[in-house]
Structure 1
């Protein structure tokens, strides 16, 4: 996994956490769910990159 990919996934996860927090603070379920979705998406990308790394090494 390249450093850029790791950084992008971390940024996406942080943005998702922020959106979730804002959604929960403002009682906006749509925004909170959107944030959770972005976090899940980042986790899945991370897992995919780890699998690729395992086959490369």
Structure 2
């Protein structure tokens, strides 16, 4: 889980938030849903990255 992966996921999440808010303001249901979907995808990626890192931390703890 490199810095670029974290940054890309966070950027995708922020983009989704912006789309969702713009959809709220303009009463555009499609844009609101697209933003929510983007946020969910980004959060799922982040959760996967955190799980991988936790696995590495456990492995490293046993190797010491």
Higher gyration radius (CA): 2
Q: Which residue of 1 aligns with 2:9?
A: 9
Q: Distance in 1 between matches of 2:44 and 2:15?
A: 15
Deviations 1:16-48 (A, max 9, x none): 001001111111001001000100100000000
Greater RCO, 1 or 2 (C-alpha within 8 Å, sep 6+)? 1
- Cα RMSD of the aligned pairs, angstroms, is 0.6
Q: Which residue of 2 aligns with 1:46?
A: 46
Please list every run of 5 or more consecutive structure 2 residues that lacks an aligned counterpart in the other structure. Answer: 58-64
TM-score normalised by the chain length of structure 2: 0.85
Q: Is 1:31 matched with 2:37?
A: no
Please list every run of 5 or more consecutive structure 1 residues that lacks an aligned counterpart in the other structure. Answer: none
